[in-house]
Amino acid sequence: MIGPAVGPRRVLVTGGAGLIGSHLIDALLDRGETVFCLDTYETGDPGNLSHHADNPRLTLLERDVTDPPHLDVDQIYNLACPASPPQYQRDPIRTLRTSVLGAMAMLDLAHRTHARILQASTSEVYGDPFVHPQPESYNGNVNPIGPRACYDEGKRCAETLFFDYRRVHGVSIKVARIFNTYGPRMQSNDGRVVTNFIIQALRGTPLTIYGDGLQTRSLCYVEDTVDGLIRLMESPDDVTGPVNIGNPTELTMLELAEQIIGLTGSSSPVLHMPLPADDPRQRRPDISLARDLMGWCPNVALQDGLRATILYLRQTPVLKLAGCSPVLA
């Protein structure tokens, strides 16, 4: 983790009760900052921040990102948006509104209060990429009318807004393209591959592999992602990004299933199911830019991160009720 902050600042984190947001708030409070967490709690959970209940430097605001609070802040991390495909596709128009109008509302707030603002963009801007691994200079291959477009195009439009607010209004912006992130505090029912496989392995039910399972992802542990976001926020003003934040260790979904079966000591089989539309075939970040500009690279090995996530998910009510108790290998 990077060193202590220069002094206490007022920091707004939208989507602060989610996976990345709550770990980010832990780190910001550790650095002595005063934090405002804005969240609707639809995919985030205030329980993720309950260990700060007595901390006067944290304020929880239950509201939508498109309805900004009247606050004077020094920094804004704009993370608000469902990130799991089943969740962001459930109400696609709402997802677009959150991505686009939410970004605009936060940029207006940053402009008004002279705050620096960081956008949680995504590897989804690369779509189903023809260039591998993906550098920031690659403009991507996104289907603008498919079921993933509400998220992909919403996040692409948000990037456009960020750079136009910089060009037109001189707002101090940072854009991070975050690749798949996992860790404790993932929702057990978010439908993502890491949670699905872990819950299935712990229950002893089949691990659902979509398609042939040869599609790849690169999974970054949440603490590494948070370290990258803070480094980017604290970087010199001319470092705007976009900067990839992700772990370059790439693996197929079949390999991920094998690892999770091994770590949980489960005897679950795998079950192949249809591949969702527009599912990207491969995904791996080129992180040279993050390394050069911010001295950042991920430190947590996949096995260690998965162990911590399995330990966390074993405690979730959904498994406790089902009486599942496989031990960690």
How many residues bind ligand UDP (CB under 6 A)? The answer is 14
Report if residue 209 touches ligand UDP, rule: CB under 6 A. yes
> Rule CB under 6 A: which of 297-326 touch ligand UDP?
none
Q: Does 85 bind ligand UDP (CB under 6 A)?
A: yes
Residue 279 engages ligand UDP in binding (rule: CB under 6 A): yes
Maximum C-alpha span of the chain: 58
Using CA atoms, how far apart are residues 43 and 194, in angstroms rounded to an integer? 16
Site for ligand UDP in 11-70 (CB under 6 A): none
Which residues, 105 to 144, sit near ligand UDP by CB under 6 A?
A: none
CB 246 within 8 A of CB 179: yes
CB atoms within 10 A of CB 320: 11
Report residue 251: phi and psi, to 5°.
-150, 155
Write each residue from 155 to 184 as x if it is in contact with ligand UDP (CB under 6 A), else as -, in one continuous string: -------------------------x----
Q: How far is CA 266 from the centre of its chain?
A: 28
Among 87, 121, 196, 225, binds ligand UDP (CB under 6 A): 196
Helix (H) or strand (E) segment spanning residue 76: strand 75-78
Distance CA 262, CA 250 (A): 18
Task: Determine the angle formed by the axes of helices 102-113 and 149-169, rounding to 10 degrees.
Answer: 20
The answer to whether 151 is a known catalytic residue is: yes
- CB contact set of 209 (below 8 Å; sequence gap of 6+): 253, 254, 257, 270, 271, 272, 273
The interface region with ligand UDP, picked from 28-36, 159-167, 207-215, 297-305 by CB under 6 A, is 207-215
Catalytic residue (choose from 151, 165, 182, 221): 151
- Residues sharing a CB contact under 8 Å with residue 83, sequence separation 6 or more, in sequence order: 18, 43, 122, 151
What are the CA-CA distances from residue 309 to residues 37, 59, 181, 185, 216 (Å)? 24, 27, 11, 8, 20
Q: Residue 218, interface with ligand UDP (CB under 6 A)?
A: no
Residue 275 CB, shortest distance to ligand UDP, in Å, is: 6
Residue choice 134, 215, 218, 316 for contact with ligand UDP (CB under 6 A): 215
Q: Is the Cβ of residue 19 or residue 105 nearer to ligand UDP in the bound state?
A: 19
- Told to check if 276 binds ligand UDP by CB under 6 A, we report yes
Q: Which is nearer to ligand UDP, 20 or 38 (CB)?
A: 20
- 253 in contact with ligand UDP (CB under 6 A): yes
| CB 21 to ligand UDP: min, Å | 18
Catalytic center residues: 151
The site for ligand UDP (CB under 6 A) is made up of 84-85, 180, 192-193, 196, 208-210, 215, 217, 253, 276, 279
